[in-house]
Structure 1
Amino acid sequence: MATTPSRAARAYPAAGALELSEFFAPQRTPSTDLPAPEPFLRNLTRGVLEVFAGVREVDQLARWLTEDAYRKLVTRANLAARARSARGVPARRPVHALLSVHHSSPADGVVEAVVIVQGPARTRAVALRLEGMDGRWRATSLALL
Structure 2
Amino acid sequence: MLTFEEKEAIIQEFPELTRKEVSMKRVNYHYEESLYDKTTVIYHLHPNGNGFVYVGDLPQYEAKEKGLVNIREVSADELRKMIKDSIDYLATEEEEAFDEEVEEEWTNKESSKLTLLQEDTLWNIYHGYNLEESFGSYDEAKAYLLEEGFRRGKR
Q: TM-score, normalised by structure 1?
A: 0.29
Q: TM-score, normalised by structure 2?
A: 0.27
Q: Which structure carries more helix by proportion?
A: 1
